[in-house]
């Protein structure tokens, strides 16, 4: 078993394209560290970030071991005034406008639009994708996007209005995605990746049941 957030160095960079992948195969791809941006699937173990060569560590939650923390319960209480709508993802001007506001938070690899992550028509594939939209008095203030496989789900991306940053909406939508995955008897919830050095992605480590992926030896409990 690996210690803490260490992972053995191995150089992997693979890519392919697909318009449609069956749910059970999506589960297998996520299990091996793959992710997709629209129809382009890629997995890589190394990335240049903050002027350093970083090791990429994919993350997932073993849902049988997940429990909400005190902080997560506080975030849930903080957002009880919001309405959650879960539906098939269809991109439009309202969502693009929110993303343009949100992306000012990015400092590197700044995406052009939400379609950079999801493709122009996520409702058509390569797999089922759901929007978890949060509404405040009928106004969309945050949304996250969840890929759904057979026994696993992958959190693609999230966005929120900068004026609502104190609500921790990125974490809140993740909790709602996890709730959905558990209610649909899924085994794993994939949550992107972190690096072997500290970064702004480290909030993902604050979930119980988290596992990291070692590119040579596979998944290990944290």
Split at pLDDT 50, 70, 90, the class of 1 is: very low
Report pTM: 0.93
- Read off the pLDDT band of 8 (50, 70, 90): low
The overall average pLDDT reported for the chain is 93
For residue 2, what pLDDT is reported?
45
Confidence band of 4 (pLDDT split at 50, 70, 90): low
**pLDDT tens track for 45-69:** 998 877 788 899 999 999 999 999 9
> Where do the domains of the chain lie, and which CATH numbers do they carry?
13-221 (3.40.630.30)
Report the distance separating Cα 18 and Cα 41, nearest Å.
7
pLDDT tens digits, one per residue of 60-103: 999 999 999 999 999 999 999 999 999 999 999 999 999 999 99
């Amino acid at each position: 078993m690996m210690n803490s957030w260490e992972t053995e160095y191995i150089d992997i960079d693979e890519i392919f394209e697909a318009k449609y992948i069956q749910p059970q195969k999506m589960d297998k791809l996520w299990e091996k560290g793959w992710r997709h941006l629209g129809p382009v699937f890629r997995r890589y173990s190394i990335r240049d970030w903050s002027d350093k060569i970083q090791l990429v560590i994919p993350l997932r939650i073993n849902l049988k071991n997940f429990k909400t923390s005190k902080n997560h319960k506080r975030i849930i209480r903080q957002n009880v005034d919001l309405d959650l709508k879960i539906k098939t993802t269809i991109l439009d001007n309202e969502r693009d406008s929110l993303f343009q506001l949100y992306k000012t938070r990015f400092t590197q690899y700044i995406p052009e639009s939400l379609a950079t992550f999801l493709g122009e028509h996520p409702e058509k594939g390569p797999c089922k994708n759901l929007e978890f939209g949060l509404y405040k008095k009928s106004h969309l203030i945050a949304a996250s996007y969840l890929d759904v496989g057979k026994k696993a789900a992958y959190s693609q991306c999230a966005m929120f209005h900068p004026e609502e940053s104190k609500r921790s909406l990125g974490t809140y939508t993740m909790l709602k995605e996890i709730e959905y995955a558990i209610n649909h008897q899924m085994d794993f919830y994939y949550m992107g990746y972190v690096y072997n050095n500290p970064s702004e992605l480290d909030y993902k480590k604050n979930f119980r049941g988290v596992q990291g992926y070692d590119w040579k030896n596979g998944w290990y409990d944290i």
